[in-house]
Amino acid sequence: MTLAVILLLVFTGAVCTSAATTAHDFRYVYECYESGEVRVDILVDGDVLAYADFSRKEVVFWIPHLPESVKDLKKRAYEIAKSSIIHCRSVMSKAKKASAGAIMRQDAPDVSIYSRYEAADGVANTLFCLADNFYPPSINFTWTKNGAAVSCGVSDLRYSHNGEGTFRRISALSFTPREGDVYSCSVEHQASTRPLARSWELKESPGLSPAAGFFSVSLVLCLLGIMSGAFFFNKQPN
Ligand SMILES: *[C@@H]1O[C@H](CO)[C@@H](O)[C@H](O)[C@H]1NC(C)=O
């Protein structure tokens, strides 16, 4: 992916609202691009709930049904987001003077795959593919089953914001595991030249159960104890 823009800075500002009985954490994340493009994400309690669409002149929410109280906030949220354009301009001009050819910040995601419940043959489950600690917040997930692309039953969850300026996102796949099936999740992010893939398959038919494992470990420890006891007993001077 060739980016004609260079991302320089992210600003996080906290806006407090006293409307709710419980305090929510509202944050605006401004991304200022060298091309002049500005992107504003609105985070509520760490989740990216909305972004400012400057061409539509409004804040667009990722969730379909909004409570009335939030609708009132929409206009104000857009006004705040709009002010970031001016803010970006002034910061960019300062930044350009300070460091010509500043390097774009990029963090490749850490990817992991796991099932919602302990998997059993023929029992419906969900696979999660977690991409964590990446920046900028733009990422693609693709799922395969035995090498063939899967799109049915896939849903990408919202972006979440890690406090230190990186993002996290989960893609979920509803599936029914069968022995021998291999599922794979592949993550594309601009900070990584190759897609990052993780695979998952049903573990071989039940081997050592946790109880049996505990018993064996206890037995080994117990034997070691007896042996070292015997060793020191024999070494004791008469
Ligand atoms: C994600 O996919 C879209 C559409 O295929 C593509 O335009 C975009 O560059 C991809 N993003 C990343 C980060 O690879």
Q: Is residue 236 part of a domain?
A: no
- Percentage of the chain lying above the pLDDT 70 cut: 82
Of the residues 68, 98, 128, the one at which a domain ends: 98
We report the CATH number of the domain holding residue 56 as 3.10.320
* Pocket lining: 188 vs ligand 1, CB cutoff 6 Å: yes
Query: If we measure between CA atoms, which residue out of 29, 154, 172 comes closest to residue 87?
Result: 29
As a whole number of angstroms, the distance between CA 153 and CA 159 comes to 19
In the predicted model, what is the mean pLDDT of residues 176-185? 95
Q: How many domains does the chain have?
A: 2
| Closest C-alpha to 189, from 157, 146, 128, 142 | 142
Q: What is the mean pLDDT of residues 56-64?
A: 85
Do 142 and 181 share a structural domain? yes
* Alpha-carbon distance values, 72 to 59, 76, 142, 162 (Å): 11, 8, 37, 27
178 part of a folded domain: yes
Task: Give the distance (Å) from ligand 1 centre to CA of residue 140.
Answer: 6
On whether residue 61 sits in a domain, the answer given is yes
Residues 90 and 117 reside in one and the same domain: no
What is the per-residue pLDDT for 143?
A: 98
Q: What is the mean pLDDT of the chain?
A: 80
Range of the domain at 129: 110-201
Residue 186 lies in a domain: yes
- Residue 131, domain member (yes or no): yes
pLDDT recorded at residue 19: 42
DSSP annotation of 219 reads H
pLDDT in tens, 68-81: 777 777 888 898 88
**pLDDT value of position 27:** 81
Q: From ligand 1's centre to the CA of 196, what distance in Å?
A: 14
| pTM of this structure | 0.60
Same structural domain, 80 and 132? no
> Is residue 229 one of the residues assigned to a domain?
no
